[in-house]
Amino acid sequence: MEKKLLQECKEKLLSEKKKILERYLEKEETQQRIEEESKEPRDWEDIGQLTYTEELLDNLSHIEINLLKEIDLALKKLESGAYGICENCGVEIPIERLRAIPWTRYCAKCAEEVERETGTYMSSYGFEPIITENIEIDREDLGEA
């Protein structure tokens, strides 16, 4: 793999890691504020909103922690020379995929297989764009402006 591409991916990985860490610090501050606010007596609606916000922040933290682990693994692979190789089939991951998801461990085909095995696969429903040319809308409830 080209040195230029490796450097580009490394920069993206480090940038994403920095963003996640900054968001995490912001969440920590928000959670501290929520804890302070929850000490004061409130009505049930406020308590429900605070609880929902705490749960949402906690879930986002778990997702971002997992993403940080993937980024760190990708950075280690960059150092060892194993970056950009699919962990499942051993083929080189296409450059376009690495640019889009620099922390990916799998080529698209293997990623789909892993998602099916882990239950995280979302099939495409054959979405095709609707061509809106020559469509006439006849509605009686619309008058002229």
Domain boundaries, the chain: 3-118
3-state secondary structure of 88: coil
* pTM above threshold 0.95: no
CATH code of the domain occupying 3-118: 1.20.120.910
Report mean pLDDT in 10-residue bins for the chain, 145 residues: 89 91 75 65 61 64 81 93 94 94 94 86 56 64 58
Amino acid at 3: K
Which residue pairs, CB below 8 angstroms and at least 24 apart, start in 78-87? 78/6, 78/9, 78/10, 78/13, 83/1, 83/6, 83/9, 84/1, 84/6, 84/9, 86/110
pLDDT at 129: 57
Which pLDDT does position 111 carry in this prediction? 92
Q: How far is CA 68 from the centre of its chain?
A: 11
